[in-house]
Structure 1
Amino acid sequence: MADFARSDHPAVQEQLDRLSLLSPGGDRLGLDRITRLLDKLGRPQDDLPPVFHVAGTNGKGSTCAFLRAALEAAGKSVHVFTSPHLVRFNERIRVTGSLIGDEVLASLLAEVLDAGEAIEPSFFEVTTAAAFLAFARTQADACILEVGLGGRLDATNVIERPLITGIASLGLDHQQFLGNRLPDIAAEKAGIAKRGVPLVTQLYPPAIGGRIGKIAEDVGAIWSPRGARWDAIVERKTLRYRDEQGELDLPIPRLPGRHQALNAALAVALLRHQQRISFPPSALTAAMGWSNWPARLQQLTDGPLSRGRDVWIDGGHNPSAARLVAGWAKRQFRDRRLHLIFASLKSKDAAGVLQPFGGIAPSVSTLPITGHDCRSPEELAAMATELGFAASVATSLEDAIAAAPTDAAVLVFGSLYLAGEALKLNGQLPD
C-alpha cells in the first residue's frame, strides 16, 4: 500500500517523484535496507536526543502528542516523527516544535535518495532516514518516534538505546504483515524492547500481556505494565494516576473520547519511568489541555466543506478503533441523530469497522478515497445495508455532506486518508 504523498512545493514534489520511481512505496518490513541506508548517511540515529519510542495498534500517535505537549510545557525542545501525514508530507517530521520546512525537506530527501539508489529503500525507510538526519543536525532535549508498522522490523527500530519504550492499545490491523492473532501482534510490537530500557505498556488480557512480558524478560527490558507498576482510572472529570512515585489527579484531556485519557496516562507513565529528563508536575496538567492530534474525533470548523454543519472526523480504520469511536458517539449524540460518511481501503475490515455503529448511526453514505486502493462505494453500501444501515452512495465528500440529513450531526470515518481529505477541503491544514 503506497503512501501517495504529494506536495505543493516543486522541490519537495521532485524528490517525492524520485521516490515513487525508486521504490514501490508500500509496506516492506525489515531492518537490512534501513541499516545500510543509514550507514551510508553516517548513522544519524546515533546522534539523536533521548528517544521516546512508542508502538501500538491504536493510540500511539495520541500518546506521542501528549508526550510532546508535556515536554514542551516543561520548556523542552522536542523532535517528533509520526505517520502517516494527513494533508502535507511535512507533518511527519517536526523539528524542535515546528513542521519541517519545504526547502530543508527537499534537500534531505535528495540526500537520502542519492544515498539509497542501490538499496531501493521503501517510502517509509526514506522518510525515516530523512527525519533522523533532520533530528541529528538540530539540537533538542528529546525525540519522540512513533513506530510505523509493528515494531520488531519497523524502520524506527534501528534505535539501539532509546531512553524509554512504550506500547499503546493493541488490536487487529495489518494482519498481512503481523498475523491474525493478538498475541503474535503483541510480540511484534514488543520487538522495540531493549536491554536495560524501561518498557511501559497498557494493560492487556493475560495471553497478550504474558507474551509481552516474556519478550521483555528475554531481552532484559524493564517491563512496567498498567495495573502493576502504574495505573490510571477516570473518575468524572479527573484522571487519577498512581505509580511508585505517588499519586496524581489530572484533568481529563481535551481530546474527545474516554480512550484518550488512557493514552494520556501512558504518556504520563513514560515520562515518570525515565530519569534523564526532568519536568514539573504542572507540565502534565498543561499537557491535558494543550495536546492536539488532528483527525482524532476532531470537529471541523465552519469552512468550505462543513458549511455550518456539525461535522466530525476520525481516522479510525480497524474494528478496535471503531468500537472506541462508536462508544464516544453513543454518548455524544444520544439526543441527536448521527449520519455516518464512510470509506475504506481494500486492505481493511470494512464490515468490522461499520458494525459497532449499529443502532448509533442509522444512516450512512459511502464514497471512494481519491487516489487510493479502496473498496467501491457500491460494495460498502451493500455491506452497510446487510448490517441494517440505510445506505446511499456518494461520489465525493462534498456531495456526501450536502446529502446528509439536515437535522443530523455528521461523522466522517474509516480512513486517515479520508480524514485528511476532509481537512484539506475545509481549509484546516495541520500545523
Structure 2
Amino acid sequence: MSTRTYKDAIDCLNTLQSNAATLEASRASGGQLVKVAIPETIEYLGRIGYKPEDLNKLNVIHITGTKGKGSTCAFTDSIIRHAKPEWKVGLFTSPHLIAVRERIRINGAPLPEDDFARFFFEVWDRLGENQTRANPATFLRPMYFKFVTLVAFHAFLSLQVDATILEVGVGGTYDCTNIVPHPVVTAISALGIDHTAVLGKTIPEIAWQKGGIYKEGVPALTVEQPQDGLKVLRERAAEKKASEFLVVGSTPDISDVKLGLAGQHQYQNANLALHAAKLFLQQKANVAPDAGLTETYVKALQEARWPGRCQMLQDPKHDGTTWFLDGAHTVESLDCCMQWFVSPDAVLRPLDTPIKPQRILIFNCTSGRSGSSFLGSMLAKAATQLQLHQSNEVSDGLFDHVIFCTNVTYADGGFKSDLTTHAIADSDLAQLKTQHELASAWHTLVPPFPKERVHVLPSIEHAVTVVREIEKLGKVDVLVAGSLHLVGGTIEVAGLADVAL
C-alpha cells in the first residue's frame, strides 16, 4: 500500500466486518462461538507484542451494563479529567457516530486521523507478520470490533495514559475487552433485556454475563438492580473474589446538578460514575474519598458530553429546525428516550409562538419484527408523559410525519466510509423489508394516521430531504431514534457535526 492515510485505515477495517450471513450463523449457534473470544483475543494481543499483564499499566475502569454503560463511561471520563487535569486519560467506547476514531479518545478528544492511521497500521502489520496461530482456522486478523479494541490497547500503551475508561462491547464474560487481568475498578450499570447476543435471556442470565467483568481483588460496583439480577451479581462478585461488592447509594445533592447529559435516567449513571471515579482516585491518586459532591465533581458532571444520546440541537443552517437525537435501540432505552423527548425540557418546551412546530419521527431498527413492540412502547410512554405534564395532546397525534429509512448514508446507496455496514442482508436493503414492517406496525398502532405522512425511504439522505421540504412550511422538530448508526448518519447528512460532536 503506497499510502497509509486515515481513509486507507477505514477501508482496511471495513474488510473485517462480519456480514449478515456470519451474524446469522453466530446467532444460530446459540452463543457458542463467543466462548472462544477471550483466548483468541489474548492470542491476537500476543501477536502484536503484548501480554495481558501489560494492560494493567493502563489503570482501567471497566464498565458494562445493558442500559447506560456508555453514559457512565462519559461521566467517569469527565470526572477523572477534571480531578486530575494534568493526567492523560484514555476512553474506549462503541459504536461511533460519524468517525471510527471517536471510539478511541485522549482527554476527551478523538484520536487525530494521522495518529489513528499510525496505530491502526502498526497493529495491521504486526498481525500480518506474526501469523502463527494455535488454531489454523483462526482468522489472520480479527473481526471489526476486536481489531479496534486491539488498536485502542496499542494506542493507550504507546501514549502511556494515566487512566483508561473501558466500555464493554457486548455482554461481559466473553467480551474481548475482558482480558485486562487486574482493572482498578469494575462497574455495572442498569440491567435489562439486551438487543443483541442476549436477546431472549432472563435477567439472571444477563447478570451472569455482565458479572464476568468482576475480578479478584478489585471493587465490584453496581447500581440497584432487579432482585434476581442483583442476587446473581453478588454471587459473581464472590465467585470472582472481588475485594468488595457495592450497590452504590445515592450521592447527596446529586439530583440538584444540571447534568451535561439530558434525561432523568442519567442521574443513576452519573451516581455510578461518581462512586467508581472516587474509588479509582483513592487508589491511584491518593485522593481522600468524601460522601458528597465537591465543586470539581459538580463541574465534571455538568460538562460531561455524550453525543447522540438525548441530545437537543438547533440546526446551524435552518433556524426553525430543532433536532432531537437519541440512539436508543432497546425497548427500555426507548422508554427513557420518550421520557426525555415528551417533557418541558424538550418537545413540550415553551415556544415563542403559539403555532406548534411540525413534528417528525425518523426511525429505524435492526429488525422490523421488533418494530411493533418498539413503536408501541414509545407511544405508550408518550401518552404517560403527556398526561404527567397535563398536556391536552394525545400520543397518536404527537408526530405529524413518520419516516422509516435504512441506515444507508446517501441517496446513491453509498455509505460514508466510517459508517459502512455489511450486517444488513442485501435483499433486505433492496426491498426495504424492515422499513415496510415498521410502517405496517405504525399503521396498526395508529390506524387514523394519514398514510401519505408515513414515508418508507431507502437512505438517510432521502429522510433529510423530506425534512428540508417540510421545514419550508414552518418550524420543525425532528426526533431521530432507534439506532446509533441512524443518528450518526443523520448528523453527517444534515450537517450537524459542528454542533453535535
Q: Give TM-score, length-normalised by structure 2.
A: 0.75
1:366 is aligned to 2:387:
no
C-alpha spacing 1:21/1:324, structure 2 compared with 1 (3 Å): closer
Structure 2 unaligned spans of 5+: 24-32, 132-139, 289-293, 350-355, 384-394, 409-414, 416-420
C-alpha spacing 1:11/1:410, structure 2 compared with 1 (3 Å): same
Distance across 2 between alignment mates of 1:89 and 1:82: 10
Partner of 1:377: 435
Partner of 1:108: 119
User: RMSD in angstroms over aligned alpha carbons?
Assistant: 2.6
C-alpha spacing 1:98/1:115, structure 2 compared with 1 (3 Å): same
Give the 3-state SS of the residue equivalent to 1:310 in structure 2: strand
Whether the aligned pair in 1 keeps the contact of 2:362 and 2:404 (CA below 8 Å) is yes
Q: 1:223-276 deviations in whole A, cap 9, x for unaligned?
A: 5443xx52358xxxx525xxxxxxxxx613132100111111110111223432
Q: May I ask how many residue pairs the two structures share in their alignment? A: 407
C-alpha spacing 1:10/1:367, structure 2 compared with 1 (3 Å): farther
Partner of 2:489: 421
Question: How far off its partner does 1:58 sit?
Answer: 1.7
Question: Structure 1 residues 129-138 or 74-83, which shifts more?
Answer: 74-83
Question: How far off its partner does 1:77 sit?
Answer: 2.4
Partner of 2:47: 40
C-alpha spacing 1:22/1:124, structure 2 compared with 1 (3 Å): closer
Match of 1:231 among 250, 257, 260: 250
Partner of 1:276: 283
Give the 3-state SS of the residue equivalent to 2:406 in structure 1: coil
More helix by share: 2
Match of 1:64 among 70, 73, 84: 73
Question: How far off its partner does 1:10 sit?
Answer: 6.7
Partner of 1:319: 331
Whether the aligned pair in 2 keeps the contact of 1:190 and 1:215 (CA below 8 Å) is yes
Partner of 1:3: none
Question: How far off its partner does 1:179 sit?
Answer: 4.8
Distance across 2 between alignment mates of 1:110 and 1:166: 32
Question: How far off its partner does 1:307 sit?
Answer: 5.3
Partner of 2:90: 79
Question: How far off its partner does 1:186 sit?
Answer: 1.6
Q: Trace 1:330-409 onto structure 2 (pairs within 5 A).
A: 330-332=342-344, 333-334=347-348, 338-346=359-367, 349-358=370-379, 359=383, 360=395, 361-363=398-400, 364-370=402-408, 372=421, 373=424, 376-388=434-446, 390=449, 392-395=454-457, 396-402=462-468, 406=474, 409=477
Bigger Rg, which one: 2
Question: How far off its partner does 1:43 sit?
Answer: 1.6
Give the 3-state SS of the residue equivalent to 1:217 in structure 2: helix
Question: Structure 1 residues 334-343 or 30-39, which shifts more?
Answer: 334-343
Partner of 1:6: none
Whether the aligned pair in 2 keeps the contact of 1:339 and 1:404 (CA below 8 Å) is no
Whether the aligned pair in 1 keeps the contact of 2:58 and 2:162 (CA below 8 Å) is yes
Give the 3-state SS of the residue equivalent to 1:116 in structure 2: helix
Question: Structure 1 residues 60-69 or 21-30, which shifts more?
Answer: 21-30
Give the fraction of aligned pairs with identical amino acids, expressed as a percent.
29
Question: How far off its partner does 1:403 sit?
Answer: 5.4
C-alpha spacing 1:149/1:402, structure 2 compared with 1 (3 Å): same
C-alpha spacing 1:410/1:347, structure 2 compared with 1 (3 Å): closer
Question: How far off its partner does 1:177 sit?
Answer: 4.7
Question: How far off its partner does 1:408 sit?
Answer: 5.2
Distance across 2 between alignment mates of 1:401 and 1:339: 8
Distance across 2 between alignment mates of 1:355 and 1:311: 22
Match of 1:328 among 335, 340, 361: 340
Letter in 1 for 2:68: G
Partner of 1:300: 313
Distance across 1 between alignment mates of 2:105 and 2:439: 39
Partner of 2:299: 286
Q: Give TM-score, length-normalised by structure 1.
A: 0.86
